[in-house]
Structure 1
Amino acid sequence: MRPVETKSAPDDRNPVLIGQRPHSRRQALRKSMWIGIWLLYLAGPVGELTGHGVTTADRIWGFVGLALFVLAYIILIVRHMWRRPPVSLRYSPLAAMLALSVALTWTLGSSWLVLFIFTSVASAVVLPWQRSRWAIPLITVVLIAVGARYAEIRNYYLFAYALPALGSGFVMIGVQNLVRTSQELRVAREEVARLAANEERLRLARDLHDLLGHSLSLITLKSELAGRMLPDRPEDAAKQVADIEQVSRQALVDVREAVTGYRRPRLAVELAGARAALRTAGIALTADPALEGEPRGLTADTEGALAWALREAVTNVVRHSGARHCELLLTEEWEADDRHYVRLTVNDDGEGPLRGRHDGNGLAGLRERLALADGRLETGQTPGSRGFALRAYVPRTTPAASPEDPIPGSDTSPEPVTGPPVNGPV
């Protein structure tokens, strides 16, 4: 196993996603930087104030009004980002922004019409879409009315200011709908996971009840019977105690088998975990479609061995490889001795195997686990790349498919599909 690299905490390294509130100061700073970038559009009014021919009174009024406008805009957006105040508390900053837009444009010049665009976008962000769809056209109408005062821009101000105000507002409504949909999907996924875990607990409880209910009732009955036989009939009591021992041992075997069945890893489950881990680590994934379904020709033990191999390989890719892409393949292979194997291949484009280093505990344990399933493990360099390749082999235990009828995941199966690129560490 390659040496461990130190990764930063997920919350600090991951960029905060759309619709998610920042969970740390660093994420809040990143979001604030994105908000601040759009303030560069105020360069026109600022440049006009700093130019020649502007009176001192206009310069003071312009900077004070612009500062108040930016303050109202930031307070509105930041409060919405962190706390989501009631809708009634969002109208005052919006009204102040609209009033300042009118006053500054009316007194200082047509370049201040850009303030209406900020007001339109802010209303789309903080108001429910049922209200913002009316507020945005209203703001645009006010912009057109104020802009008509300046004859020098009447030929183009509809295209330079009115259409951007209207279009940006409605585009932001669409973004907000996307944000709400993302939030609802996130909540739905959490609810599905919670229900699945609850259903699994109920199923385990039912299985344990079915396994132990009869055995424990029989043990209780025989214990009472043995107690009544003592001390007059010790031989019969001894038989009852022997039966109790036999029943308890069988109950213990049943419980162990049930728990082992729940703990046995499966390829489809491990693939889902691999997708999540690689997505968090910012590593793109190409996964063979054969890994999605039930693998044919594998017993529970051999599938479990491959699942452990997939888990260990993906863990190594995330922690040690520094890779940007990972490929998972499930194929069939005939050996020279006519033995038929199923092969799991995990390739990455990272740093590759380190020379002069032996396997770590993880790969050594994986070799032993595959050997118990009559399989083997091979590691080396990814073909055509300097990355690391892991190949796990387990024997196929059902009759092989004919060349005319290949199984999914063989060399003649369709090309693997590419998973979405992602970011952040595990």
Structure 2
Amino acid sequence: MVALWRSDRAVRLAPVGAVACAGLLPLLQVALAFSYPGNDVRTGLWSLAVTVVYLPLHLRHVWYAARGVRLPAGGWTFAAMAVVILAATPLAGNMWPRAYAGLAASAVLVLPGPWSFVVYLSLVIAAAPASLLLGLPWNAAPWLTLSVLSGSGAVLLLVWLSAALVRLQSARQVLAQRAVAQERRRIDDDLRRTLGNALESLAARGARAADLLQTPPGRRAELVAELSGLADDSRRTLAEARQRVRGYRRPSLRAELDTAATLLSAAGIETRLRLPRTGIPDTIAPEPRAALRATVTRLLGSEGVSACTITAAVSTDGVRLEVRADGVTETIDVQTEGRP
């Protein structure tokens, strides 16, 4: 279930579900306008016509908010929606104030800060008196108020859940991009420190060999020694380059630990990363990498986890990772090929 909610498909379908719920409730309102006692075909037709006018505006509010996107000209579209719904109150039957649920939800989604809650509470409070003035029985007034609250609350809950999923996915993408950039910087610094210095040494020896070519024949032995040393350094540099390229094909242990700590912190879990002063190996094998990711995924899906400590201890056999969260410790052994 946790994997489903974190999948890209769930993120794409969440705004659609919020819009579907927001569209279903007004259709039920139209059905009540035709069938509820005290209503007739005339009130039903008015309800249908007005719903056709305001519903696209309401669904537009929900669609933008469910994707975490600011709605352009949201205040104007809300004002138009409010005018349509409130103006139809005397014409669309005694159950029409149930449509205030959609207007209240749009107020929270579109209007800024305190004003949104003021408008929301005003609409919820006004729904029952408006229906009573239109002939709704007294015993049905509490049900109508509860209906407005539950209808608007259901829409807002789905919208907030969808927006949270979208923000979580965006945060994960940013973290992934940051991890890639960090890994690129690490590789660049490593190449500059190792192969860069080796190539500069080769260039210097090549320049000396070129100078020796201009010397008298008596110094040919020195030239041969210089060329031989140049060839040895070239082969050694080439072997080191091949070894490092093989190492770069494996994921970085430090990058994996940093990404795990960042993901847990972004989820509200206070995370501490403890690394030895002597440093840790460069790479991590696929098996412990998968185990570390599985542990992080479990912590992200668990409820009540407030703190986590990831400790790396270096031994002669490699590195032992200890992930401690709320008194429970998991160990992951990382067998490495070398130390930095």
Query: Which bin holds the TM-score, normalised by the shorter protein?
Result: 0.5 to 0.7
Per the TM alignment, residue 250 of structure 1 is displaced from its structure 2 partner at its CA by 1.3
2:189 matched residue in structure 1: 206
Contact 1:16 1:27 in 2 (8 A): yes
Q: Check 1:108–1:175 CA distance in 2 against 1; reply closer, same or farther (3 A cut).
A: closer
SS at structure 2 position matched to 1:246: helix
State the one-letter code of the partner of 1:67.
V
Aligned pair partner of 1:255 in 211, 223, 241: 241
- The 2-side partners of 1:48 and 1:198 are apart by 62
- Distance apart, 1:244 and its partner CA: 0.5
User: Contact 2:202/2:234 (CA < 8 Å) preserved in 1?
Assistant: yes
8 Å CA contact 1:117, 1:161 repeated in 2 = no
CA distance in 1, matches of 2:90, 2:210: 102
Native 8 Å contact 2:85 2:99 kept in 1: yes
In terms of fraction of residues, the more helix-rich structure is 2
Q: Distance in 2 between matches of 1:42 and 1:253?
A: 76
Give the TM-score, by structure 2 length. Answer: 0.61
- Give aligned-pair identity as a percent: 18
2:57·2:81 contact (CA, 8 Å) conserved in 1? yes
Aligned residue number for residue 304 of structure 2: none
Unmatched 5+ stretches in structure 2: 1-6, 257-280, 292-315, 323-327, 331-340
1:224 alignment counterpart:
207
Which of the residues 144, 148, 151 maps onto 1:165?
148
Compared CA separation, residues 31 and 255, structure 1 to 2 (3 A): same
2:49 corresponds in structure 1 to 64
CA contact (8 A) 1:121 1:165 kept: no
Return the alpha-carbon distance in structure 2 between the equivalents of residues 267 and 210 of structure 1. Answer: 19
Contact 2:67 2:162 (8 Å CA) reproduced: no
Which whole-Å CA distance do the structure 1 matches of 2:156 and 2:197 have between them? Answer: 62
Q: 1:169-180 alignment to 2 at 5 Å?
A: 169=152, 173=156, 176-180=159-163
Are residues 133 and 38 of structure 1, via their aligned partners in 2, closer, same or farther at CA, if it must alter by over 3 Å? same
1:138 aligns with 2:122: yes
Q: Which of 189, 196, 209 is the matching residue for 2:179?
A: 196
Distance in 2, matches of 1:307 and 1:191, equals 24
C-alpha RMSD of the superposition: 4.8
SS of alignment partner, residue 148 of structure 1: helix
Find 1:240's aligned residue among 220, 226, 242: 226
* Distance in 1 of aligned mates of 2:47 and 2:153: 29
Code of the residue aligned with 1:240 in structure 2: it is E
* CA distance, structure 2, for counterparts of residue 172 and residue 34 of structure 1: 7
Structure-2 change in CA distance of 1:217 and 1:151 (3 Å): closer
Higher relative contact order (CA 8 A, sep 6+): 1
For 1:94, the equivalent position in structure 2 comes to: 78
Deviations along 1:253-281, whole A, 9 cap, x unmatched? 222222222323589999xxxxxxxxxxx
Number of matched pairs = 277
Query: How far does the alpha carbon of each residue in 1:18-52 deviate from its partner, in whole angstroms, 9 at most, with x for none?
Result: xxxx5xxx998766544433344225434339x99
2:58 is equivalent to residue 73 of structure 1? yes
Give 1:240 shift: 0.4
Of 35, 41, 49, the match for 2:28 = 41
Q: CA separation in 2, counterparts of 1:223 and 1:53? A: 98
1:202 partner SS = helix
Runs (5+) with no aligned partner, structure 1: 1-12, 271-299, 312-396, 399-406, 409-413, 417-426
Inter-partner Cα distance in structure 1 for 2:43 and 2:254: 69
Contact 1:116 1:165 in 2 (8 A): yes
Equivalent pair of 2:94/2:131 in contact (CA under 8 Å): yes
In the alignment, the residues of structure 2 paired with residue 210 and residue 134 of structure 1 have an alpha-carbon distance, to the nearest angstrom, of: 62
How far does the alpha carbon of each residue in 1:339-387 deviate from its partner, in whole angstroms, 9 at most, with x for none? xxxxxxxxxxxxxxxxxxxxxxxxxxxxxxxxxxxxxxxxxxxxxxxxx
CA-to-aligned-CA distance 1:280-311 (integer Å, 9 cap, x gap): xxxxxxxxxxxxxxxxxxxx9xx848579x79
TM-score by length of 1: 0.50
- 1:236 partner letter: E
How many Å apart are 1:243 and its aligned residue? 0.4
Which of 95, 99, 107 is equivalent to 1:123?
107
